[in-house]
């Protein structure tokens, strides 16, 4: 078990055309900061936004605005440059403020202003543990999205279950970096798309590695290998699962999810009120912690009918969360990647 100390979807061509038209007015006549934008800028840098000067027209000539279409406004105060960016994520535009300190060449952070993302999936979007990850980043190096754990300074860990949203936010911040590099530093920066694009078969998604990540508040607390999970007390559970395809019979072998969490920290099942079981395809099932703590209720299974469960690529070594009182299998998570712990009201 590795203990950590620190912490797609395709968008249609029609949407691309729509949002391209919607965002084509960068550095337009209406570049004054709105109150919400100004409050966000102040929240990031601590300077009253009314002290900033609008430099949108100078910073965003036509060619640069086309190169970094997510950037819609640029403001300056002393060595600070404030950007209002509007990239397109999963459900539409995400408006956010980003501030860069020219003296250090690093970002001071971001603040989300407005978005259309589904609240359940982006519940961590406004959390300081997520937005704070954009502070202190060197603007000369574009940020990259990673799935579980950041190992380089320019890597940003995705919000659990909201990979596309995270990618959209990263695009917006990278666009601000690009404009800063060209306008302030006089360098040439690579263009940044304003819309997330994923195509089938790109191979850039997460993969199963026969280990399970345990995450809380965006931090990977531990990675537990399948061999460690197999070493825990095991049980067999025989059940029939009903679906539109018919009824299937299963004889699962696995171990209690609560036992896996106790392996990391016995207090986890008391400190958090629910878990999210996340699969390789970002499928998520929500389970209340009282179910996890209940006797013989929620398991991590690794065998079915005396055969190893398969990964999504067809190889053995897969894991599945099984809630045994769910005979319809709607809260089963196949191809298990991680367990995310959180606090909040009950799912049921």
* Residue pair 201/195 in contact by the 8 Å Cβ criterion: no
SS3 189: coil
Q: What is the pLDDT of residue 31?
A: 74
Which of 172, 174, 195, 168 is closest to 18 using CA atoms?
195
State how far the Cα of 56 lies from the Cα of 76, in Å rounded to an integer.
Answer: 9
Give me the residue label for tokens 């209406």: 30
Spatial separation of the C-alpha atoms in residues 112 and 97, rounded to whole Å: 7
Torsion sign across C-alpha atoms 79, 27, 58, 196: positive
The stretch 153-177 carries a mean pLDDT of: 89
Find all residues with CB under 8 Å of 172, minimum gap 6, and list them: 70, 85, 86, 87, 94, 96, 98, 194
SS3 291: helix
> Residues 330-341: what's their mean pLDDT?
87
Virtual torsion, Cα 280, 281, 286, 292, nearest 10 deg: -20
Kindly report the length of the chain: 348
User: pLDDT confidence of 28, banded at 50, 70, 90?
Assistant: very low
User: CA-CA distance, 82 to 105, in Å (whole number)?
Assistant: 13
Q: What is the pLDDT of residue 149?
A: 73
pLDDT digits (tens, 9 = 90+) for 123-142: 667 778 789 999 999 999 99
Q: Distance between CA 102 and CA 139 in Å, rounded?
A: 9
How far apart, in whole angstroms, are the C-alpha atoms of residue 212 and residue 124?
21
- Supply the pLDDT for residue 198: 54
Show the CA angle centred on residue 208, arms to residues 326 and 204, nearest 5°. 115
pLDDT tens track for 283-327: 788 899 999 999 889 999 999 999 999 998 899 999 999 998 886
- Residue 179: helix, strand or coil by DSSP? helix
pLDDT tens digit sequence for 59-118: 999 999 999 999 999 999 999 999 999 998 887 899 999 999 999 999 999 999 998 776
Judged against a pLDDT cut of 70, whether residue 6 lies above it is answered with no
Q: Higher pLDDT residue, 282 or 158?
A: 158
């Amino acid at each position: 078990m590795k203990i950590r100390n620190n912490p797609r979807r395709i968008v249609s061509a029609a949407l691309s055309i729509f949002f391209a038209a919607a965002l084509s007015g960068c550095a337009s006549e209406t570049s004054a900061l709105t109150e919400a934008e100004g409050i966000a800028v102040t929240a990031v840098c601590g300077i009253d936004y009314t002290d900033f000067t609008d430099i949108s027209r100078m910073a965003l000539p036509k060619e640069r605005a086309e190169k970094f279409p997510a950037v819609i406004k640029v403001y300056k105060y002393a060595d600070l440059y404030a950007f209002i960016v509007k990239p397109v994520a999963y459900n539409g535009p995400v408006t956010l403020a980003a501030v860069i300190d020219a003296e250090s060449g690093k970002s001071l952070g971001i603040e989300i202003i407005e978005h259309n993302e589904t609240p359940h999936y982006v519940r961590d979007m406004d959390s300081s543990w997520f937005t704070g990850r954009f502070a202190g980043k060197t603007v000369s190096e574009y940020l990259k999205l990673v799935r579980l754990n950041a190992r380089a300074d320019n890597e940003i860990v995705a919000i659990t279950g909201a990979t596309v949203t995270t990618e959209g936010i990263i695009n917006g911040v990278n666009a601000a970096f690009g404009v800063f590099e060209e306008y302030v530093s006089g360098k040439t920066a690579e263009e940044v798309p304003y819309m997330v694009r994923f195509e089938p078969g790109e191979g850039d998604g997460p993969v199963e590695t026969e280990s399970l990540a345990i995450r809380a508040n965006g931090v990977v607390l531990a990675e537990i290998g399948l061999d460690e999970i197999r070493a825990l007390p095991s049980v067999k559970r025989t059940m029939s699962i009903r679906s539109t395809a018919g009824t299937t019979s299963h004889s699962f072998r696995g171990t209690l999810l609560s036992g896996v969490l106790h392996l990391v920290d016995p207090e986890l099942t008391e400190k958090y009120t629910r878990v999210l079981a996340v699969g390789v395809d970002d499928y998520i099932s929500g389970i209340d912690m009282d179910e996890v703590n209940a006797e013989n209720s929620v398991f991590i299974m690794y065998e079915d009918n005396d055969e190893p469960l398969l990964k999504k690529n067809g190889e053995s070594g897969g894991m599945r969360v099984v809630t045994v009182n769910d005979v319809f299998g709607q809260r089963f998570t196949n191809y298990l990647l991680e367990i995310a712990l959180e606090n909040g009201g009950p799912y049921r």
